């Protein structure tokens, strides 16, 4: 069993109170973690504030070299970290390794952009050659990050990569149920050369630790990933000190398949997009709209595909889907598809818990596919954060776009068609921050990612993420 404390100013500090971390596969205790309060947050913020001038004084290139070293150290620890991640989160070990490498890749991506950080200039202000305007870019200062349990490491990287290379320091609050891997990574990064105080980790309840981060006067920005209701609360609290806020919130991503699409490839992408990480992803495929001429073919093939998904412990490499993260999460998904069934939906496959000694102690649920869901059912009106996939029949792209946009969410979307004009129409008309055309739903560090409507505010990834971690300042230089 692993016992961990806070990570503040390069040191592990134990607290007065602690909480157990459980393995979703069997309910066993993985370890304990110290629980913070407002006093601990204040201590971490002081450490980050004291480290800021030193970290900012480094050239961007030097910060980049340090992040490269951190990324190498994380990759060298992939076996240790992926084992820890699977233990506390539940995902298959293969997916855990992918997440570790994803975190390292994000650090490397922004380290590579270090020498591209620049401002600008405007000569001849007032038509006077002796007066020049300068546009400076500087870090914001101390930033707060609040990250969820579904991708605890990679979603932390989305904030740390651009924020650190821009010269900011951090206090990060991981989810209370998945703090261990993030704490270990912070220690590894410190050992690899990240100065003390640049990255600090405080675990604890959102209502205590998260609220203090959102309202602390010395924190300039909050980067939050999580549910839309909680995100709204973070935004409201951050307004008390007019913090910058980046919100990556919930989604109910539509997946559109037209009659001219490559059905086999679409089915494969749909299956991965829905059931990866047991469907616990904001960008998971959550609503499928299929053109009427190919509906039966697609339905038959997706059911056959789902039959092959093996469910069980993430440490068994033959399993493609692990447990849901908590019993409460499983119960919520069951409530959502049962609501659909009560309103006339038909379950094509799944819809139940697996049974037996292997499963009874864990939060398992069979991958589920439904059809004929009412549009007022929870399968359509709520974000479904688990392995349940509803199918709907549509007549053409216009109806598919209309149905796709009939949601308060606007995070990701997918379109499958060989008609370039139809694909571009959908890409322009669908209200989402990301659209994949004939492609698996994968996020790229090179492209900005942010939601529309109630799915978020601001951008992560791409150069655009850097802009959210830098202040722009205008300077007028007179040389006369």
DSSP 208-264: IIIHHHHH-TT--EEEEES-HHHHHHHHHHHGGGT-EEEEE----EEEEE-TTS-HH
Structure token pair of residue 108: 């490397």
Q: Tell me, what's the pLDDT at 357?
A: 86
Q: Output the pLDDT for position 1.
A: 83
Catalytic residue among 88, 99, 108, 248: 248
Is 464 one of the catalytic residues?
Answer: no
Strands 456-457 and 368-371: unpaired
Q: How far is CA 203 from CA 131, 163, 179, 182, 255, in A?
A: 51, 20, 7, 10, 36
Scan for tokens 């789902």, then name that residue: 306
Domain of residue 318, CATH code: 3.40.309.10
Q: Based on the domain organization, do 80 and 212 belong to the same domain? A: yes
* CATH code where residue 172 lies: 3.40.605.10
Rounded to 5 degrees, φ, ψ at 402 are -60, -45
Shared domain check, 324 and 190 = no
* pLDDT attached to residue 236: 97
Considering the domain architecture, whether residues 273 and 332 belong to the same structural domain is answered as yes
The pLDDT of residue 82 is: 98
Looking at the fold, whether 191 and 276 belong to one and the same domain comes out as no
Output the furthest CA–CA distance in the chain (Å, rounded): 84
Residue in 282, 431, 454, 460 annotated catalytic = 282
C-alpha Rg value of the chain to the nearest Å: 23
pLDDT given at position 214:
98
**Domain-embedded: residue 450:** no
Asked whether residue 53 is domain-assigned, the answer is: yes
The answer to whether residue 164 sits within a structural domain is: yes
User: Known catalytic residue: 143?
Assistant: no
Residues 54 and 150 in one domain: yes
* 59 domain-assigned: yes
**Distances in whole angstroms, Cα of residue 306 to Cα of each of 10, 230, 280, 303, 366:** 46, 32, 16, 5, 9
Kindly state whether residues 305 and 197 are assigned to the same domain: no
Per the DSSP assignment, residues forming a β-bridge with 13 are: 6
Same-domain pairing of 459 and 440: no
- Domain with 344, as residue range(s), is 253-445
Could you identify the residue written with the tokens 């990834």?
461
Do 279 and 369 contact (CB within 8 A), yes or no?
A: no
Same domain, 173 and 159: yes
Q: Give the global pTM.
A: 0.96
What's the rounded Cα separation, in Å, for the pair 182 and 200?
A: 10
Domain count, the chain: 2
Per-residue pLDDT at 51: 98
C-alpha–C-alpha distance, residues 146 and 230, integer Å: 11
Q: What's residue 312's pLDDT?
A: 97
Q: Are residues 30 and 111 in the same domain?
A: yes
Cα–Cα distances (Å) from 373 to 314, 322, 336, 395, in that order, read 31, 26, 11, 17
Count of CB atoms situated within 10 Å of the CB of 353: 15
**160/289 same-domain check:** no
Measuring CA to CA, which residue among 392, 93, 177, 442 is closest to residue 284? 442
Q: Do 333 and 363 touch, CB atoms closer than 8 A? A: no
Strands (E) in 366-411, as ranges, are: 368-371, 388-394, 409-410
Parallel, antiparallel, or unpaired: how do β-strands 2-4 and 29-34 relate? parallel
Is 27 a domain residue? yes
Q: Which tokens hold the place of 335?
A: 């409530």
Contact between residue 198 and residue 58 where contact means Cβ atoms under 8 Å apart: no
Q: Is residue 381 one of the residues assigned to a domain?
A: yes
Q: How far apart are CA 40 and CA 176, in angstroms?
A: 15
The confidence score (pLDDT) of residue 358 equals: 86
Q: Is 406 in the same domain as 354?
A: yes
Residue 8 to residue 170: CA distance in whole angstroms: 10
Q: What CA–CA distance (Å, rounded) separates 149 from 224? A: 12
Q: Where are the alpha helices (DSSP H) in 78-217?
A: 78-89, 93-112, 154-165, 180-191, 211-215
- 328's tokens: 């409460």
- Structural domain contains residue 54: yes
Same domain, 372 and 474: no
Parts of the chain with a pLDDT under 70? none
Distance CA 106, CA 124 (A): 40
């Amino acid at each position: 069993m692993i016992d961990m404390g806070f990570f503040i100013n390069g040191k592990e500090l134990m607290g007065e109170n602690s909480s157990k971390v459980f393995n979703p596969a069997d309910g066993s205790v993985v370890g304990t973690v110290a629980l913070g309060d407002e006093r601990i947050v204040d201590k971490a913020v002081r450490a980050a504030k004291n480290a800021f001038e030193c970290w900012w004084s480094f050239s961007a290139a030097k910060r980049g070299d340090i992040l490269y070293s951190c990324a190498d150290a994380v990759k060298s620890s992939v076996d240790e970290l992926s084992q820890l991640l699977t233990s506390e989160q539940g995902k298959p070990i293969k997916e855990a390794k992918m997440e570790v490498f994803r975190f390292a890749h994000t650090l490397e991506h922004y380290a590579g952009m270090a020498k591209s950080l620049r401002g600008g200039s405007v000569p001849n202000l007032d038509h006077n050659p002796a007066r020049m305007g300068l546009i400076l870019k500087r870090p914001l200062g101390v930033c707060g990050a609040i990250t969820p349990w579904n991708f605890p490491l990679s979603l932390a990287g989305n904030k740390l990569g651009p924020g650190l290379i821009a010269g900011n320091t951090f206090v990060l609050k991981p989810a209370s149920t998945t703090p261990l891997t993030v704490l270990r990574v912070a220690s590894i990064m410190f050992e690899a050369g990240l100065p003390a105080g640049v990255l600090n980790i405080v675990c604890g309840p959102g209502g205590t630790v998260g609220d203090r981060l959102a309202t602390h006067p010395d924190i300039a920005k909050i980067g939050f990933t999580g549910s839309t209701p909680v995100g709204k609360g973070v935004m409201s609290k951050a307004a008390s000190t007019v913090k910058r806020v980046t919100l990556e919130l919930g989604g109910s991503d539509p997946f559109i398949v037209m009659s001219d699409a490559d059905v086999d490839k679409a089915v494969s992408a749909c299956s991965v997009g829905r059931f990866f990480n047991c469907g616990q992803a904001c960008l998971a495929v959550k609503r499928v709209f299929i053109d009427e001429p190919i509906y039966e073919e697609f339905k038959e093939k997706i059911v056959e595909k789902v039959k092959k998904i093996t469910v069980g412990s993430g440490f068994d490499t033959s399993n493609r889907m692990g447990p849901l993260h908590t019993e409460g999460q499983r119960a919520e998904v069951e409530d959502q598809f049962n609501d659909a069934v009560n309103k006339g939906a038909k379950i094509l496959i799944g819809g139940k818990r697996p049974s037996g000694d292997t499963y009874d102690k864990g939060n398992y649920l069979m991958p589920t596919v439904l059809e004929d869901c009412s549009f007022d059912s929870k399968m359509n009106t709520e974000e479904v954060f688990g392995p349940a996939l509803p199918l709907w029949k549509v007549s053409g792209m216009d109806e598919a776009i209309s149905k796709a946009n009939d949601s308060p969410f606007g995070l990701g979307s997918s379109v499958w068609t060989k008609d370039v004009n139809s694909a571009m129409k959908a890409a322009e008309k669908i209200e989402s921050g990301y659209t994949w055309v004939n492609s698996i739903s994968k996020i790229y560090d090179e492209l900005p990612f942010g939601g529309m409507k109630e799915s978020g505010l601001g951008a992560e990834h791409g150069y655009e993420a850097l802009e959210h971690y830098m202040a722009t300042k205008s300077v007028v230089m007179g040389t006369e």
